[in-house]
A and B are shown apart, each in its own frame.
Chain A
Amino acid sequence: MVSRRGLVTGPFGIALLVLALLPRWTSDYHVSVVLDVLMWVAVTESWIILSGYTGYISLGHSAFFGLGAYIMAMTWPQLPFLLGIVLAGVLSSVFALTIGLVVFRVRGPYFVILTLGLTEFILHVVVNLEIKLGGTVGRILMSAPSLATLYYAMLATAAAAVVTAYVVKNSRFGAGLFSLKEDEKAASALGVNTTLQKWAAYGISAFFPGVVGAIMALRHSYIDPYNAFDPMVSFQVIVMAFLGGMEEVEGAVVGAVLLTLVSEALWASYPYYYMIILGVIMIVTVKFMPLGLVAPFKGRLLARAADGSGAGA
């Protein structure tokens, strides 16, 4: 009988293998679509590590994405590609840990709007700095690595994000994070170091958008503050996480895949309709299925697996 571990690692391994072989089979167009899907998977997984698990909803993940993009723009091509993206991730984490000293002093709606305000603040600071330093706002990145290189980098990032979200969820650390959502005071009374846990989750969570931003800067070979710090990045991530179920590692993948495909069909020709659909999905999900798409199926699947092993024994 399939164990619970097998249920998780089996499909993950097969998916990874198929994705790794994909560039050999298909056209550049399909590779770049999958690259987009993987990008959203990585960012959404990172978002649920903080917001899905702890309930501290961040509307500011685009800040880390933009930061990563700018770190790449400033270091490319002086630094090698791999070093550049790792640096982007690490600095983005360091930045999160630094502002984390302050943002977790507030909670609930204050936290939510603070993350939104901070992102806008960073955007305007970058706009003003760029005008002062360079005279113009945009930057062009020359001689980017090949599509395949970027694709494998993104695949590795997405896989790492999924594994991290999974490991965190099933660890003692993850249990601590979930306890924050249930009742922060009670958790702290039981000896969970709530401040440290939120802070650590924020740092981990910021790493992936930083890396993804760096890769995407090279992918588009042009960045300006408005597209790097686009608040739509934060919004899409939240819709994806909610659609799949914000506590589910698989949910983030499902949400990211579904919405990226919808976006692929609509975004180029009907961007406004696409955004309206996203808004409607957001409202409908919150109103009618607050647990998301995955949780009900998963519950049934796990129940059946448990039944099966019971009958076999």
Chain B
Amino acid sequence: MDLTRILQVLFSGLIIGGIYALIAVGLNMIYGTMRLLNIAHGEVIMLGAYVTFWLYTLYGISPLVSVVAVMGLSAALGALICRWIFFPVISTSKSVAVLESNSLLIFYGLSIIFTNISSLLWTTDARGYSYLTEVVHVLGVPLMKNRLWALGLSFFVCVFFYVLLQKTMLGKAIRALIQDKDASLLVGVNPDAIYYFSFSMSFALAGLAGCLLSMFYEMTPFMGMPYTITAFIVIVLGGLGNVLGSLLGGILLGLVETVGVSLTSPGWRPILSYALFILIIVLRPRGIFGKGVY
């Protein structure tokens, strides 16, 4: 492999890795703060992709503009689901174990509902559009502009989140709640506010990821599940409840996947990621970083 080829693989890895990081951070925030595992996360990505597609093909709105609307809508959906479904379930569940299994089943139901609503609205045929497909050369590597935008936006949001979690009061409250709920209540953290924030942020990030992905991949109502699984792989890599681990894990998985596929063939991609997932969950259920990176 020559240098250009290596750089090209690295770039693709970073582009997809940045998006994985967005998806995984969102999924992990809800799990970390509320112990709810959202298996409908991929379906939110799918909805974000379709809304972007609609806004672009029907009204000609640039995906880079509609990203704001998509994030807002997703956040609102997240807050509604949190309010109408999960607050009651949290208050009636007797133990964490019951809450975990009940929430999984509810999210499972939501994922089925979203998938089938999309099948009704947009049919099951693959949809797509082309936007910003001009090629520019970065370090001699030909890249489409839309991918560069995706790379820039996802890394910007990742850095933003890193700063938010590490430096602000809100971030500290979130991390405190993840580490020790009772202790964080004692020092005055308002859990309900953080639950709302986690839900809407998580959904907004998934919507953002869908918006970015729609610029260069075709979409179907069934596209969500592989992303949910990928996000699980990432959060297991980085540790369940460990939000910063997810940021690193996402980028790492993106690189591993692209390098793996460039050495084998695209048909192997799902097999490689599922195999990695099974290995990690069985061998290192606490994540490769363990408890170190909070």
Contacts and interface: CB of A to CB of B under 8 A. Distances in A.
A110 B112 contact: no
Interface string B226-252: 100100100010001000000000000
A81 B104 CA distance: 39
Interface in A190-240: 231, 235, 238-239
A238 B102 CA distance: 12
Contact of A120 (B105, B229, B281): B229
A117 B285 contact: no
A116 interface: yes
Interface in B59-101: 85, 88-89, 97, 100-101
A137 B111 CA distance: 27
B270 A120 contact: yes
B112 A57 contact: no
Interface string A273-290: 101101111110011001
Nearest to B101: A57
Interface stretch (B3-11, B49-57, B115-123, B149-157): B115-123
A278 B97 contact: no
Given A108-B97, A287-B85, A124 B105 contact: no
A6 interface: no
B150 to A, nearest CB: 25
Contacts of A108: 97, 100
Given A116-B229, A120-B274, A109 B104 contact: yes
A272 interface: yes
How many interface residues does chain A have, given as a range?
Answer: 35 or more
Given A106-B282, A231-B225, A286-B102, A117 B108 contact: no
A276 B221 CA distance: 13
Contacts of A109: 31, 37, 100, 104, 240
B121 to A, nearest CB: 10
Given A121-B271, A128-B268, A276 B113 contact: yes
A110 B113 contact: no
Given A106-B285, A121-B274, A286-B89, A242 B120 contact: no
B87 to A, nearest CB: 11
A287 B106 contact: yes
Q: Of B88, B226, B271, which is in contact with the most chain A CB atoms at under 10 Å from its CB?
A: B271
Given A113-B39, A124-B270, A282 B281 contact: no
Contact of B112 (A103, A121, A242, A278): A278
B11 to A, nearest CB: 26
Contact of A114 (B112, B117, B281): B281
A112 interface: yes
A226 to B, nearest CB: 10
A286 B112 contact: no
A189 interface: no
Contacts of B136: none
B110 interface: yes
Please report whether the interface of chain A is mostly helix, strand, loop or mixed according to DSSP: helix
Given A120-B229, A121-B275, A279 B105 contact: no
B267 interface: yes
B278 interface: yes
A57 B105 CA distance: 9
Contact of B281 (A110, A124, A235, A275): A110
Contacts of B236: 110
B278 A117 contact: yes
A235 B115 CA distance: 13
Contacts of A4: none
A251 interface: no
Q: Of A109, A239, A271, A276, which is in contact with the most chain B CB atoms at under 10 Å from its CB?
A: A109
Contacts of A273: 116, 120
A120 B276 CA distance: 13
A283 B88 CA distance: 12
Contacts of B109: 239, 278-283, 286
Contacts of A282: 105-106, 108-109, 112
Given A57-B104, A280-B109, A290-B102, A272 B281 contact: no
B100 A286 contact: no
Given A128-B268, A231-B225, A113 B232 contact: yes
A231 B225 CA distance: 10
B108 A235 contact: yes
B277 interface: yes
Interface in A84-131: 102-103, 105-106, 108-110, 112-114, 116-118, 120-121, 124-125, 128, 131
A29 to B, nearest CB: 26
Given A113-B39, A286-B105, A276 B112 contact: yes
Interface in B103-155: 104-106, 108-113, 115-117, 119-120
Interface in A235-257: 235, 238-239, 242
Given A110-B285, A124-B274, A242-B105, 17 more contacts: A102-B282, A105-B285, A108-B100, A112-B104, A113-B37, A114-B278, A117-B278, A120-B225, A121-B270, A124-B271, A131-B267, A273-B116, A278-B109, A278-B112, A279-B110, A282-B105, A286-B109
24 contacts: A55-B97, A57-B101, A109-B100, A109-B240, A112-B101, A113-B229, A113-B232, A118-B278, A120-B274, A121-B275, A124-B270, A124-B274, A125-B271, A128-B267, A128-B268, A272-B117, A273-B120, A279-B113, A280-B113, A282-B108, A286-B102, A286-B105, A286-B106, A290-B102
Which 3 pairs across A and B sit closest by C-beta, in order of nearness?
A: A282-B109, A121-B274, A279-B113
